[in-house]
Structure 1
């Protein structure tokens, strides 16, 4: 019998192990559970809520502080429902786009010590999407740091990231104070 409380995590791994004589075989499958109102990229509301730190207001952060489980899920869903561009449909396109971006940065900007969404590259990509143009330096001199400049022509914005230590941990030159939607 399956404990229903684990279904709230929305992403599960189920394993089956077959042992016969001295032979052993194991199959592990990932399954996800569709929950109306949630993006298919949301596997864990607590993690997904943390990934919203760039778009939460201070009041929204305070309201969620210390909340877990159903209480946090309600705050999470209320946040996205208020911003749903087409509430008459089953899909919240804004939430879907946000978590598509989170998924992308976790795949391409992951560091060994932090997830892609926690990096400066990740923050800017999540907030603004893919840049229109990227300029990279090919510095071989020890006096200059390697940089990347991301251009968002339609927004008239430019972000410069520098790798100060040579380990690929690019930091924004000027800190970005995010928008509060």
Structure 2
């Protein structure tokens, strides 16, 4: 039952209501479970005050869509409030509408809307309150987090907040999320280890110029693991930073391909010529299983996982590839050849494929067999989540079985727990096709 997965990622149509200090975008990414909306922030200097950039991300399957002529539309209100000492200091609210072309996209756990709202405040301790009201369901999602905006002192080096991003690219069209001529799309979720196996940091550094010189300082980057051990470390010259209006800024790409699953702290440090630490900034993130990590550490398994999307010829060529660098190159070339939208930084097919592999391993594994190798895993990876599951775990004189219905494909599959140990086998022919 081997074959390529056919995905259709229709164009996402976004109705953006022009609002002060608000920017919107959309994309594809695996949805972390258990949350309706994800919120993050970073802060940047605005003279003697701060611009607090609040980012939020909502996955399609967490929004309620209604049919409107030939589109499906979601509508909600976003409200942000910044409290200081129990009193409201500033607030912002706006309405958003989001539309997709078909019903399947309304259920997508990979497609999302991402937005940024700016609030302005001086140094201090604040509580950030975020509220989303879904107009179509009246469902309310809330998020609260304490925010510390540090004091700005003239001549004293100070980092901005760290903005963690999934992509940084040249922007010639002045599109959304532009910083210093580059489009910086924030991650919002703190979960990394995606198929590409890296993330970006954007930061600014204040208080060095004009009194000091860039060459008088050096930067250090490090990634600390959950056991406090330093996993990655890089020391660079501050001269590699760029300068704009007396502000130093930088983009740093962090490779996660050699980092196993764990909670990490990414940290940037500023040292003077004598090696004294004079400023630092840090942020926590989580690293989960990355396909690129598998490519680096277990090539045979990395190739085997491709069994449902690669041809026998492609699998043979990949298995015969030798050398770490050549394997990474071949793996990237393989997925590039499958990219349904090669002109964008996202590879929707790759992201969806590994999302399904991960789900299959988490839900269908049995004893020493990985979930994607089971019959249920095979069907799930090839066809995605079923529209309906008819479960029969306890039937007299009948083995436990399940029927998976794919109404959109006009297909159904029967799985039977033949041996009574929880491994459901696919029974043919059930709908007459493979």
- Normalization by structure 1: what TM-score? 0.72
Q: What residue number does 1:136 align with?
A: 391
Structure with greater proportional helix content: 1
Q: What residue number does 1:153 align with?
A: 407
**8 Å Cα contact 2:361-2:372 kept in structure 1:** yes
**Could you tell me how far 1:78 is from its partner in structure 2?**
1.4
**8 Å Cα contact 2:231-2:259 kept in structure 1:** no
Structure (1 or 2) with the larger CA radius of gyration: 2
Q: What residue number does 1:44 align with?
A: 294
Q: Distance in 2 between the 1:30 and 1:108 partners?
A: 25
Change (3 A) 1:109 1:10: same
Q: What residue number does 2:373 align with?
A: 118
Q: How many residues align?
A: 155
Change (3 A) 1:123 1:76: same
Q: What residue number does 1:167 align with?
A: 421
Structure 1 portions without partners, runs of 5+: 15-28, 34-39
Change (3 A) 1:160 1:77: same
Q: Distance in 2 between the 1:161 and 1:9 partners?
A: 37
**8 Å Cα contact 1:12-1:30 kept in structure 2:** no
Structure with greater proportional strand content: 2
Change (3 A) 1:56 1:103: same
1:172 alignment partner, SS class: strand
Give the aligned CA root-mean-square deviation in angstroms: 3.2
Change (3 A) 1:110 1:138: closer
Moved more, 82-91 or 124-133: 82-91
1:72 alignment partner, SS class: helix
**Could you tell me how far 1:44 is from its partner in structure 2?**
1.2
Q: Distance in 1 between the 2:421 and 2:358 partners?
A: 22
**8 Å Cα contact 1:10-1:32 kept in structure 2:** no
- Moved segments of 4+, more than 3 Å: 1-4, 7-10, 29-33
**8 Å Cα contact 1:134-1:148 kept in structure 2:** yes
* Residue 326 of structure 2, aligned match among 64, 71, 75: 71
Structure number with higher relative contact order (C-alpha < 8 Å, ≥ 6 residues apart): 1
Deviations 1:140-180 (A, max 9, x none): 43x4211111111111111111101111100110289xx9x
Q: Distance in 2 between the 1:133 and 1:3 partners?
A: 45
2:379 alignment partner, SS class: helix
- Normalization by structure 2: what TM-score? 0.32
Change (3 A) 1:12 1:149: same
